[in-house]
Chain A
Amino acid sequence: MARRRLFMALLVCLAIMGITWGVYQEKVAHRSLPVQAGVPVALGDEVNLLARLIAAEAGSEPYEGQVAVGAVVLNRVRSPLFPSTISAVIYEPWAFESVSNGHIWQVTDLSTPTMAAIDALNGWGPSYGALFFWNPYKPVSPWVWTRTILTQIGNHVFAR
C-alpha cells in the first residue's frame, strides 16, 4: 500500500513538473519579441536593423570586427549572389544564426553596435569585400571552407 502511494505521489510530481516546464517555455518564447530595455521597438529603420544584427552576431568582438560584420551585410546587398536590400539579406532563411535562434530580438546593448553600423554604412569596411564570416572554433557547414579566406578578426574568419 505504502509503495503504491509513493508511486502515485511521484506521478503527481512529474505532472506538475511537466506543466511548470511548459509554462516556463512559454515565458522564454515571449522574450523573443522585438524589445529594447523592455520597450517594443520599430524595426523599420535599417541602421537599427543592422545594429541589432551586429550586436547579436558580434557583440563581444573587437570594434573593427563589428564594423566588418556590418560590411558583410552591405557587401551582400551589392552582390548579385544575394538579395538587394538590407532587410532581405538579414532575414534570408539561415543566413545568420542569430536570426534563426531569435537572439537578434533579445540584444539590449546597442550603443557600440549602432556606431559600428553607421561606420559600415559610411563605407568603412575592414572586411575587404567579404561575403561570408564564421567562427572557426565552432562547427560550421564544411561548404564555407571552400570560400577564399580574406582575414581573421577576433573570433571571426572573413571570406569571399
Chain B
Amino acid sequence: MEIRKKTITLVLGLALVLALIYGLWERANRMALANAVEASGHRDFYNLLSSVEQSHVHLGKALASSSPRQQAVHLTEAWNKAAAAQLSLSQPPMPQMKPLNTSKFLAKTSDYAHYLAQKLARGQDLTPEEREQLGRLREEMKKLAGDLRQTESQVAQKGIRWSSFYGTQMPQPLKTIARISLPVQATPSPLEGLINADRRLQTMPSLNYDGPFSDHLERPQPLGLPPGTPSQEEAEAKALDFAQKASSVPFRREEVRRTEGIIPTYSFRLVDSRNPRKVNVDISRHGGVVVSLLNGRPVNPPALNEEMALEKALSFLEAQGFNNMQPTYSIRSGNSQVFTFAPREKGVILYPDQIKVKVALDNGEIVGWDATPYYMAHHHRDLLSPRITPEQAKAKIPSPLEVLGVQLALIPLPGGIEKLAYEVHTKMDDTHYLNYIDALTGEEEKVLQIIDVPGGRLTM
C-alpha cells in the first residue's frame, strides 16, 4: 500500500514537472515571436517618421533653391520619401484606427511633387500658385512630423507594445464582466498623436493638377454612353441576346442586381438552359450598352491557336457594331486568350477607348468582354493634325535603338489628358520598346518596355 502511494506521487510529480517545462518552453516561444513583432512594428514606425521628416526637408529645399535643376532634384526626393512614408504607414499594427486621411495626404503630396518635378524637367517653371500649394503641403508635413514625434516619445518609453495589439480577444461574457467590475477610464490612446493628425488632415485643401490623385479625377464620369435609359426588361433582353451571341446557346435569367459603380448597371447572372454554367452580364443603366461579360467556366485544352481566336474575337466585335477595332495586345490566360482592341480613326489608334475580349481556346466561345474603358473614354474628338513628320519623330530616337515601325496614336497620360503621339516601335539588344513622341511638339512623352510572357506580350 505504502509503495503504491509512493509510485502515484512520483508519477504525479513527474507529470507536473513536464507540464511546467512545456509551459515555460511555450512562453519562451511566445516571447520570441512577440519580440519579432515588436521589432517589425518599431522598424515600420521609425521608417515612417524618418521618411516624413526627410520629405518635409526636401519640400523646403525645393522652395528655397533658386535653380530649376536643384528644385527638380529636391522634388524628386520629396516624391520618393512621401511614397515611402505612405507605404510604411500601412504596416505597423494600429488597432481601432485606420489613418486613411494621412495615407491620402502622403500619396497626394508624393504625386504632386512628382508632377512638379516632371514639369521642371520639361523646362517649365513653377507658377506662384504651385509654389504656394507646395508651401501649404510642406506646412502640413511639418505638423505631421510633430505629431509622429509625440507618438515616438511614447514608443521610446515602451508606452506602445505593438505585439500587445495582437492578443486573442476575450470571450464576450468575460469582457462584459470585466467592463462592469472595472469601469474604463478615459486614458489617452498611445497613438493619440497619429489620431490627431488624421483628424486634422481630413480637411485638406483640394489639389488640382495633372496627376492620378488629383481631386478632379476622384469621380470620373463616363463620356461614351449613348443617351436613353432602358427599362430593366429591355436590359435583360439585351443581356440574354449578347450572351447567346457570345456562347451560341440560349440562356435564361437566374438573378439580377443593381450596381452603383462608376458606370451604374443592371447585373444579370444568366444560366445556360441545358448546362449548369453561369455567365455574368452587366448592362449600363444609362444608354443600355453591354459593359462587361464574364463566363467562369473551366476551359479545356486548346483546339484553336491564337490566330483563329483573334478571328473569332474580331468577327464578334463586328457583329456588335465595332468595325474599326484593331488588336493591340494579347495575353494567354489559362486556356483562354485575352485580346485588347482599340479603334483606329483616320489612321490614329485611340488607346484610351479599349475593349477586351477573352476567347476560350477549346471551342472559340467568347468568355469575357470588358468595354468599361471604351465607354468611360469614347467621345467625338477633333483630332489635331501632327506638326512633325514620322521621319522627324524617328530622328528623335537615340542611335543604339533600331526603329522597327512608327504609327500615330492617341495616348492617355496621368491626369486624364490625351495626347497625339507617334508610337515608335524600337529595339535595343534583345529588348523591344515603344517610344511615344508628341506629334505636335516633338518631345518624348513616355517610353514603354515590351515584356514577352508565355503566350502574349505586356508593356511596362
Seen from chain A, the residues whose Cβ lies within 8 Å of a Cβ on chain B are 1, 5, 8-9, 11-12, 15-16, 18-19, 22, 62-64, 66-67, 78, 80-85, 88-89, 91-94, 111-112, 114-116, 118-119, 122-130, 148-153
Contacts and interface: CB of A to CB of B under 8 A. Distances in A.
Nearest to B101: A81
A83 B87 contact: yes
A85 B87 contact: yes
B11 interface: yes
Contact of A19 (B22, B89, B259, B296): B22
Contact of B259 (A22, A118, A124, A150): A150
Contacts, number: 138
B60 interface: no
B237 interface: no
A158 to B, nearest CB: 8
B207 to A, nearest CB: 11
A154 to B, nearest CB: 10
Interface string B348-368: 000000001010000000001
B262 A124 contact: no
B300 interface: no
A115 B334 CA distance: 7
A116 B295 CA distance: 11
B326 to A, nearest CB: 18
Interface stretch (B102-110, B309-317, B394-402): B102-110
Interface string B285-300: 0000000101010100
B261 A81 contact: no
**Chain B interface bracket (under 10, 10 to 19, 20 to 34, 35 or more):** 35 or more
A67 B370 CA distance: 13
B16 interface: yes
Interface stretch (B65-73, B91-99, B132-140, B141-149): B91-99
Interface in B254-274: 257-263, 265, 267, 269
Contact of B261 (A67, A128, A152): A128
Given A12-B12, A88-B91, 6 more contacts: A15-B18, A80-B111, A81-B100, A112-B298, A124-B292, A151-B261
A29 B346 CA distance: 64
Contact of A118 (B22, B263, B334, B370): B334
5 contacts: A80-B213, A93-B91, A118-B334, A150-B261, A151-B261
A123 B370 contact: yes
Interface in B18-32: 18-19, 22, 26
A97 B93 CA distance: 14
B448 to A, nearest CB: 17
Given A12-B11, A149-B260, A84 B86 contact: yes
A124 B368 contact: yes
Nearest to A80: B107
B90 interface: yes
B338 A92 contact: no
Contacts of A93: 91-94, 165
B108 A119 contact: no
A151 B292 CA distance: 15
B331 interface: yes
B19 to A, nearest CB: 6
Nearest to B367: A119
Nearest to B103: A81
A16 B15 contact: yes
Given A11-B12, A93-B92, A93-B93, A126 B280 contact: yes
A84 B89 CA distance: 11
B296 A64 contact: yes
B338 A122 contact: yes
A149 B261 CA distance: 9
Query: Which are the 3 A-B pairs with shortest beta-carbon distances?
Result: A128-B261, A63-B296, A80-B107
A112 B338 CA distance: 17
B197 to A, nearest CB: 15
Interface centre among B16, B89, B261 (most CB of A within 10 A): B261
B61 interface: no
A122 B89 CA distance: 29
A94 to B, nearest CB: 7
Contact of B356 (A81, A94, A123): A123
Contact of A62 (B93, B212, B259, B269): B269
B278 A129 contact: no
B153 interface: no
A81 B258 CA distance: 26
Contacts of B257: 151-153
B376 to A, nearest CB: 11
B83 interface: yes
